[in-house]
Amino acid sequence: MNWQTLTQQNNQRYDSKAIARYYRYRPWLAWARAIKIIWFFAVFILSLKWDEWQNQQEQNKFKRAIQLRQLLTRLGPTFIKVGQALSTRPDLIRKDYLDELVKLQDQLPPFDSVLAYKIIETQLERSIDEIFSELSPTPVAAASLGQVYRGRLHSGEEVAVKVQRPNLRPVLTLDLYLMRWAAGWLGPWLPLNLGHDLTMIVDEFGTKLFEEIDYINEARNAEKFANNFRDHPQVKVPLIYWRYTNTRVLTLEWINGFKLTETKSIREVGLDPETIIQIGVTAGLQQLLEHGFFHADPHPGNLFAMPDGRMAYIDFGMMDQLHEITKETLVDALVNVVNKDYNDLAEDFVKLGFLTPETDIHPIVPALEVVLGDAIGKNVGDFNFKTITDKFSELMYEYPFRIPAKFALIIRSLVTQEGIALSLNRNFKIVEVAYPYVARRLLTGESAQLRRRLLDVLFKDGKFQWHRLENLIAIARTDGNFDVLPTAQLGLQYLLSDEGKFLQRQLVLALTEDDRLHTEEVQRLWLLVKDDLKPTRLLNVAIEVLTEFSREGVVAILPKALKKL
């Protein structure tokens, strides 16, 4: 079986079994690559040790940072991806190394433009002059999987033309094969109780990487992402020019803006970096909890602050989709963290696959409280995913936590966005953006699923949880933009509907449970919302809701009356 046969059998998709069969009969290729990787890292580690022995760590730190960047670049796309992920983590990587790794995002050595132009013409089956009135002679950016040219179509639109690196698939395939082989051997010895799931994580990464090098798939992802954010005034997604797009060439709208790490340039155009962070965090939560379709590679080279205040996403090669039940369970988990309901949180971990269904969660609950108990109020520099991972790694020696393969990309995405927030503002409190968003979603959501989730939050063991409603309203109001009146309107509409009859009985019981009137709790809630619920506003809402239900009642009764006639 030759390489072309493997590609045809794979149908351009990642297939770990087919790849393993291919290299089983060509072990010299795998060993040659493995020896090269080991040798490169051994030289780097020995260089660090030599500096330590010679007491020259400080003197040579910039030299070693450059050496690491060059090492990852020489090892190719897979290792460049690792470096890109590390470049967003100032809490893990020293500044001298960080400054070099950032260059891996879009400052990689380009391949020959003559070859790039030939790929464009071959893929699009027409000459450069037929397609573009202008096209930069050299790439404006070079990334791990391709490079970008700036051009202009004959119709006048300014475009970015993304061209894939040649011979990319064989390089990625061999590295993924070695990673999977290493995962099988090393998995049982690693902490975090990954076990056999480590190979599943490699497979998930391989699947997404193969999707990323299919530019037609990326173009579809971009359009789906754009449709999800079509009503969002602060998120920009570039247009796709399908006529000039193929498997290895992608033509899209040119985005004028600044990388999110260019804080000086962002401030010079009158923008506040912290506002951009808030847009990014909120948009990230929307992707996970509303749309279920999320950008799995949001490093600073793929996110831009535009002069008009919008944040633009580019590079939609690595995306993933969540099922509805997963989105709902993630909402539950976040609310349970807010309310410090660690027993329910442990049950969420079972539903999400971090714990098996037969796991006894009772001894795990106190451990979760230790790990997550101080989450609210900490800034991202003190409470981040590294902190959680370090603490969870201790728990995983005692409890059977595991990382579901589906969550590998989610964790990567969240960690990357957290790293961007750290780069822009060390003291940015990510929880102060995330928790209010979740609270507002629950309180203002119009879907049946969100109403059910809100009722699940407010009623526990048949009892109304007053403190949870207070927490949700208080947290939702923290940014000053939350108006409780639309929530009150939705609640009144729901109470008057057939679906809300059960809730009517539950609320009466809630006000009188434990053989007392809960006037104190009602008074606390009123103090929270009284500024929004002015009498005239309430009256207008009541009239609107009653009018609507009266109209619906007439519509429902009229056909029956006509039948009798």
Q: Which residues are annotated as catalytic? A: 297
**Helix (H) or strand (E) run with residue 539 in it:** helix 535-564
What is the residue-wise DSSP string for 167-204? THHHHHHHHHHHHHHHHHHHGGGSSTT-TTHHHHHHHH
Smallest CA-to-CA distance from 359 within 369, 368, 349, 372 is with 349
Give me the residue label for tokens 């714990």.
355
Q: Is the Cβ–Cβ distance between 409 and 209 less than 8 Å? A: no
Tokens of 209: 């990487």
Compute CA distances 502 → 494, 498, 517, whole Å: 10, 9, 20
| Sign of torsion over alpha carbons 150, 151, 152, 157 | negative
- List helix spans (H) across 269-305: 273-286
- Count CB atoms within 10 A of the CB of residue 173: 25
Tokens of 24: 């089983």
Please name every residue paired with 149 in a beta bridge, in sequence order, or none if there are none. 161
The residue type of 537 is R
The residue type of 67 is Q
Q: How far apart are CA 339 and CA 457, in angstroms?
A: 9
> Which residues, at least 6 apart from 18, have a Cβ–Cβ distance to it below 8 Å?
6, 9, 10
* Strand-pair category, 235-236 with 311-313: parallel
Q: Is the Cβ–Cβ distance between 347 and 333 less than 8 Å? A: no
Q: How far apart are CA 63 and CA 261, in angstroms?
A: 23
The residue type of 226 is A
